[in-house]
């Protein structure tokens, strides 16, 4: 079967990720500073396995290979943790794609991301301020360059403050916490994550006029992005992939000659929504689209009075200027379960429909699960079960809009893949029900 020429009568999720094999997970994780919660490389590997990827770089089911293109795996069955009709595509790049990110981020912050590690590594050890150093996750090597974290955080709103030119100064300026380090290999991972976003947006443009039940998309990036603001890095987030995809389907990639030369094949969207279902408010996404009228941002999250990010996500924060009313924050009460969550999700989807969105980019966080360790149970917390993720998928599909998922948080590495699979099972159940009904009517 050629997936580009099928009859569009079967639902399929296209999964895009940025490592051909899973062998690099350990080395990528070991380059990061130690963190008791955040293991993004391991999370990605666990999700891939739950979606049918076998260790050693093979996929369950038949493979389709094209010259100079990725390998595709297509599944026709449900197995233990396998989603039906899943196509997994690997992408990598030798091109510096971070320039693309400046379409939603401050260009100076992107320049910092591009250069920070090399500048830090190039400083003689005795000249690296000790308060900026963070031990890596792997075995301690006295000769290894420690990861770079801020020593303190700039008060940007105060007069007389600026980023400066030194890497120490800029690290304090752009980072909002010391849990989002700069480390060996980060730049290459971010480049590949951005390439995944570019592929997702291109596919969405290609499928613009085809019924949404046929295809939906999943950007399985390594690092989450929804806490990365216009000019800030934090909450384990560096580049806001969901924001980038939303922007690009409204303003297609000007660097892609194929899109430019074939405008009838790649059709842009007029309005798009971002729906953040991560446990934490998508404060970075909100900041990027705060005053824009063409992107509606809805975020369902723990009350920021009791959990991260603490200063964003309140119900009265609705955007301003041309973007006023285009931000919807839905903070939940401490310990909220599916009954309250479902009500908020239905409200968000209704608002998205009223806005006139033609597609939904879903910031898919898995830390809403009741056992996720990152939740502040004493002051916030949520109680979703694995069955609730299936229902979430059904509701998202019921909006009858083009769907694209972007991986955000989720700190139970062992079950992350099964939670993603549950969402996709719900999406496919609803989409297949709709397709079956349409076939009967036809």
Q: For residues 98 and 328, which has the higher predicted lDDT (pLDDT)?
A: 328
- Among positive and negative, which fits the CA dihedral 170, 310, 337, 399? negative
Model pTM score: 0.86
Phi, psi for residue 77 in degrees, rounded to 5: -150, 160
* Residue 373: both structure tokens together: 């360790």
Exposed e or buried b per residue across 356-377, where buried means at least 16 C-beta atoms within 10 angstroms of its C-beta: ebbbbbbbbbbbbbeebebbee
Q: For residue 257, how many other CB atoms are within 10 A of its CB?
A: 9
| 45-54, 106-115, 365-374: segment of lowest average pLDDT | 45-54
Question: Taking CA 58 as the corner, what is the angle to CA 69 and CA 29, rounded to the nearest 5 degrees?
Answer: 90
Nearest-angstrom CA–CA distance, 43 and 39: 6
CA distances from 317 to 192, 264, 272, 280, 308 (A): 33, 38, 20, 15, 16
Asked if pLDDT for residue 386 goes beyond 90, the answer is yes
Q: Indicate the SS3 state at residue 340.
A: helix
Q: CB neighbours of 209 closer than 8 A, spacing ≥ 6?
A: 267
- Comparing C-alpha atoms, which of 218, 224, 192 is closest to residue 50? 218
pLDDT higher than threshold 50 for residue 1 = no
Long-range contacts of 254-259 (CB under 8 A, 24+ apart): 255/100, 256/198, 256/202, 259/202, 259/205
H helix or E strand, kind and range, residue 100: helix 98-101
Q: Is pLDDT above 90 for 120?
A: yes
156-188 per-residue burial string, b: 16 or more CB within 10 A, e: under 16: eeeeeeebeeebbebbbbbbbbbbbbbbbbbbe
Helices (H), 161-212: 167-174, 186-206
pLDDT given for residue 56 in this prediction: 45
Query: What are phi and psi for residue 311, nearest 5 degrees?
Result: -120, 10
First-to-last C-alpha distance (Å) of the chain: 25
Q: What is the pLDDT of residues 37-77, one digit of tens each?
A: 777 878 887 787 777 765 444 333 333 332 333 333 333 33
How big is the CA angle at 236 (ends 234 and 241), to the nearest 5 degrees? 90
Could you tell me which of 405, 44, 20 has the C-alpha nearest to residue 241? Answer: 405
What architecture is the 3-96+189-441 domain classified under in CATH? 3-Layer(aba) Sandwich (3.40)
Confidence at 85, pLDDT banded by 50, 70, 90 = low
Active-site amino acid positions: 227
Domain chopping of the chain, boundaries = 3-96+189-441, 114-186
Query: Each residue of 193-244: pLDDT tens digit?
Result: 999 999 999 999 998 888 777 789 999 999 999 999 999 999 999 999 999 9
DSSP 185-198: THHHHHHHHHHHHH
Is beta strand 272-276 parallel, antiparallel or unpaired with respect to 133-134?
A: unpaired
CA dihedral angle for residue 409, residue 412, residue 416, residue 419, rounded to 10 degrees = -100
Report the alpha-carbon distance of residue 383 to residue 396 in Å, rounded: 19
The number of angstroms, rounded, from the C-alpha of 289 to the middle of its chain's C-alpha atoms is: 16
- At residue 75, the pLDDT reads 31
- At 367 the pLDDT is 97
Burial 215-251 (b: 16+ CB within 10 A, else e): bbbbbbbbbbbbbbbebbbbbbbbbbbbbbbbbbbbe
User: Which pair of tokens denotes residue 276?
Assistant: 């953040």
């Amino acid at each position: 079967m050629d997936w580009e020429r099928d009859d569009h009568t079967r639902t399929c999720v296209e999964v895009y990720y940025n490592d051909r094999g899973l062998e690099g997970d350990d080395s990528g994780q070991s380059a990061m500073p130690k963190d008791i919660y955040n293991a993004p490389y391991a999370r990605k590997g666990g999700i891939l396995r739950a979606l049918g990827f076998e260790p050693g770089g093979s996929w369950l089911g038949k493979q389709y290979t094209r010259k100079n293109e990725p390998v595709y795996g297509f599944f026709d069955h449900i197995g233990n943790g396998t989603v039906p009709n899943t196509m997994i595509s690997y992408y990598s790049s030798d091109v510096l794609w971070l320039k693309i990110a400046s379409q939603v981020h401050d260009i100076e912050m992107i320049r910092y991301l591009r250069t920070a590690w090399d500048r830090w590594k190039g400083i003689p050890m005795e000249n690296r301020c000790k308060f900026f150093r963070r031990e890596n996750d792997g075995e301690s090597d006295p000769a290894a360059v420690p990861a770079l974290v801020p020593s303190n955080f700039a008060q940007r709103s105060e007069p007389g403050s600026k980023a400066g030119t030194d890497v120490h100064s800029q690290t304090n300026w752009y980072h909002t916490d010391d849990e989002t380090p700069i480390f060996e290999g980060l730049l290459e991972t971010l480049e590949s994550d951005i390439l995944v976003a570019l592929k997702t947006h291109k596919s969405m443009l290609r499928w613009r006029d085809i019924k949404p039940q046929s295809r939906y998309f999943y950007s399985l990036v390594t690092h989450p992005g929804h806490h990365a603001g216009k000019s800030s890095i934090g909450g384990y987030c560096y580049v806001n992939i969901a924001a980038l995809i939303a922007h690009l389907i409204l303003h297609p990639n000007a660097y892609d000659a194929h899109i430019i030369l074939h405008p009838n094949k790649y059709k842009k969207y007029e309005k798009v929504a971002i729906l953040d279902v991560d446990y934490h408010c998508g404060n970075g996404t909100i900041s990027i689209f705060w005053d824009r009228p063409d992107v509606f941002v809805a975020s369902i999250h723990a009350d920021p009075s009791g959990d991260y990010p603490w200063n964003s996500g309140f119900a009265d924060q609705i955007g301003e200027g041309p973007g006023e009313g285009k931000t919807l924050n839905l903070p939940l009460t401490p310990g909220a379960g599916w009954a309250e969550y479902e009500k908020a999700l239905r409200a968000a989807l209704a608002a998205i429909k009223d806005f006139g969105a033609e597609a939904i980019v879903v910031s898919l966080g898995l830390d809403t699960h009741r056992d996720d360790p990152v939740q502040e149970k004493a002051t916030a917390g949520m109680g979703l079960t694995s069955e609730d993720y299936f229902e979430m998928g059904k509701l998202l599909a019921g909006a009858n809009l083009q769907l694209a998922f972007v991986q955000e948080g989720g700190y139970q590495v062992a079950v992350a893949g099964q939670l993603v699979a549950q969402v996709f099972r719900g999406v496919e159940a609803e989409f297949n029900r709709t397709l079956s009904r349409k076939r009967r009517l036809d």
